[in-house]
Amino acid sequence: MKIIMLGAPGAGKGTQAIMIADKYGIPHVSTGDIFRANIKNNTPLGQEAKTYMDKGMLVPDELTVKILLDRVAQDDCKNGYVLDGFPRTIVQADVLKDALNKLGDHIDHAINVDVPDENIIKRMSGRRACVKCGATYHIEHVPPKKEGICDNCGEALVLRDDDKPETVKKRLDVYHEQTQPLIDYYNKEGILKNVDGTQEMNKVFEDITKILG
């Protein structure tokens, strides 16, 4: 079972990807994690990616797919995997599709965790973080015992720049421009399924498992 997770930043697709991986016994494959592992282990692919990153350049799609295919060729992926964070654009989706086709392989499901922008902005702007110990909270869903104070270490909680409404809005604009077209792409491929991401986390997961079977 090979799955791609789609959804705007803050929609909760990463959390769902981890839950899917755990339930079905398949790896959660995050492109960020793969890059870090290849660079840390100084692999040939990691060295190549680092040459671009050191110059502040984006890693080319073909190289990203090479690194991804190297990961999913490992034994723990023989029964499938959940892709989180890739593809992000139509070009990347095409490169991935072509590479898998050459291996006689394909993606089985593209799951879109659908959440309206206003919900995401509200959800993310409610996050609070402790700059000392890294603990995270949400003013509505996971509030600290004492408002504005970390339960763990007693330090003040802050709204991170990444979670400020204006920053979230910019990230959503980029998502709609670059990544939203993937929803149409996988719909045409006949493998897209939408789930209502505004529901409680376990209900979203229940809807996904009904799709996956």
DSSP of 11-47, one letter per residue? SSHHHHHHHHHHHHT--EEEHHHHHHHHHHTT-HHHH
Q: Which of 50-59, 139-148, 179-188, 192-201 has the lowest mean pLDDT?
A: 50-59
Indicate if 171 belongs to the active site.
Answer: yes
Work out the pLDDT band at 31, boundaries 50, 70, 90.
confident
Q: Which of 97, 122, 160, 164 is catalytic?
A: 160
Q: Above 90 in pLDDT, residue 179? A: no
Residue 204 has pLDDT above 90, yes or no: yes
pLDDT at 6 over 90: yes
Q: What percentage of the chain carries pLDDT values higher than 90?
A: 74
Query: Which candidate in 88, 122, 164, 193 is catalytic?
Result: 88
- 127: closest CA among 159, 80, 102, 154? 159
User: What is residue 28's predicted lDDT score, i.e. its pLDDT?
Assistant: 95
- If pLDDT is split at 50, 70 and 90, which confidence band does 213 have? confident
Q: Which long-range contacts (CB under 8 A, 24 or more apart) does 66-71 make?
A: 67/31, 67/34, 67/35, 67/38, 68/29, 68/31, 68/34, 68/96, 69/99, 69/100, 69/103, 70/45, 71/29, 71/34
Q: Is 36 a catalytic residue?
A: no
Residue 17 Cα to chain centre, angstroms: 8
| Catalytically annotated residue among 2, 71, 123, 127 | 127
pLDDT at 33 over 90: no
Residue 53: predicted pLDDT: 86
Active-site option among 13, 66, 71, 123:
13
> What number is the average pLDDT over the span 152-177?
92
Q: What pLDDT score does 101 carry?
A: 93
- Domain annotation for the chain: domains and CATH numbers: 2-115+170-212 (3.40.50.300)
| Confidence at residue 141, expressed as pLDDT on a 0 to 100 scale | 86
pLDDT recorded at residue 80 = 94
Confidence of residue 42 (pLDDT cuts 50, 70, 90): very high
Write down the catalytic residue from 50, 97, 171, 193.
171
Whether 71 sits among the annotated catalytic residues: the reply is no
Mean pLDDT over 115-127 rounds to 93
Looking at residue 126, its pLDDT comes to 93
Cα–Cα distance between 60 and 62 in angstroms, integer?
6
The pLDDT, as a whole number, for residue 58 is 82
